[in-house]
């Protein structure tokens, strides 16, 4: 079975490894190298690095909408194209080339959280569970029928980064199961998505990370978890802009204006919110590294005075 794999970020790497274990991956498509780091030098994607380490040819088109792109894919004679967080739109003429079409590994239980940031949006919304779907791709945004799925519970303290890693491994397992069936001549049965319960996980924007103290503490605590490790929640506290890496919602008496510092000690820094208070436990000063609230207080004695 000849597979073309298309993916870009770290999330897709376990799925690439799974594909290599089940079939011949004849080429890997990934986004063009992008400037990154302090020097802004071109940096290969995690998927490209994994492919090169395995000796798999890498293709990095700017677009898949051209005749040249279609001819290049057709020349690979793929039985299947596997797409995992690739980042480029696949036109219908591309979807039609592989014998078995294109499969997508998506980090939610569709139709909930179609779109770019399903992992973070699930935490931000307070979902208690999520999962992975193996989907037969069609032209719409994550609208295709589901071939296989697996669910998992979201821990109440789990960050976006932690859930990302668990779902990446679960996605690889679901893909491996699907490829195993296809190799055995059993095509997974496509199940159309429900028309009810559709939600969209819009791309994360850095501006979203700024905490609004007028919101309930429970909402802000979910944002802190969801936006760790990127874009990382931000807030102004005692006149200083800080990045908030860990915080929990606690009960607090009403009456204090949102943003008021209520208490500060070894357990954290309590800030009044629209409802309850947010206890900040790990934070980061501009240009510094993540530190505990206690360490920050040692440097900001004025806060305790």
- Binding residues are 108-111
**Under DSSP, is residue 220 helix (H, G, I), strand (E, B) or coil?**
helix
* Residues ≥6 apart with Cβ < 8 Å to 128: 153, 154
Annotated binding site for (6S)-5,6,7,8-tetrahydrofolate: 108-111
* Residues ≥6 apart with Cβ < 8 Å to 254: none
Strands (E), the chain: 2-7, 24-29, 34-36, 41-43, 58-59, 80-84, 102-106, 114-115, 129-136, 146-153, 200-201, 233-237, 240-250, 261-265, 268-272, 277-285, 290-292
In the DSSP assignment, the letter for residue 240 is E
Helix, strand counts (H, E) of the chain? 9, 17
C-alpha distances out from residue 193 to 135, 136, 147, 149, Å: 10, 11, 10, 12
Cβ–Cβ < 8 Å for 173, 150: yes
**Under DSSP, is residue 271 helix (H, G, I), strand (E, B) or coil?**
strand
């Amino acid at each position: 079975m000849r597979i073309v794999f298309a993916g870009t970020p770290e999330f897709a790497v376990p799925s690439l490894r799974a594909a290599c274990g089940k079939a011949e991956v004849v080429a890997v498509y990934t986004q063009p190298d992008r400037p990154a780091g302090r020097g802004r030098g071109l940096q290969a994607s995690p998927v490209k690095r994994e492919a090169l380490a395995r000796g798999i040819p890498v293709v990095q088109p700017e677009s898949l909408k051209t005749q040249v792109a279609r001819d290049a894919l057709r020349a690979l004679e793929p039985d299947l194209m596997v797409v995992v967080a690739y980042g480029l739109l696949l036109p219908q003429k591309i979807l039609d080339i592989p014998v078995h079409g294109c499969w997508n590994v998506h980090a939610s239980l569709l139709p909930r959280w179609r779109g770019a940031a399903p992992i973070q949006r699930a935490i931000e919304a307070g979902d208690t569970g999520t999962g992975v779907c193996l989907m037969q791709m069609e032209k719409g945004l994550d609208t295709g029928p589901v071939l296989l799925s697996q669910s998992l519970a979201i821990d109440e303290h789990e960050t976006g980064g932690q859930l990302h890693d668990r779902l990446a491994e679960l996605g690889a397992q679901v893909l491996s199961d699907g490829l195993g069936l296809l190799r055995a001549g059993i095509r997974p049965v496509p199940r159309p998505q429900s028309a009810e319960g559709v939600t969209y996980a819009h791309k994360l924007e850095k501006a979203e990370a700024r905490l609004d103290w007028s919101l309930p503490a429970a909402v802000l605590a979910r944002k802190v978890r969801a936006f760790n490790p990127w874009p990382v929640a931000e807030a102004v506290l005692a006149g200083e802009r800080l990045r908030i890496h860990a915080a929990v919602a606690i009960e607090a008496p009403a009456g204090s204006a949102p943003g008021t510092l209520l208490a500060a000690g070894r357990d954290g820094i309590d800030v009044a919110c629209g409802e309850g208070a947010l206890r900040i436990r790990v934070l980061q000063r501009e240009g510094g590294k993540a530190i505990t609230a206690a360490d920050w207080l040692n440097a900001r004695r004025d806060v305790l005075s």
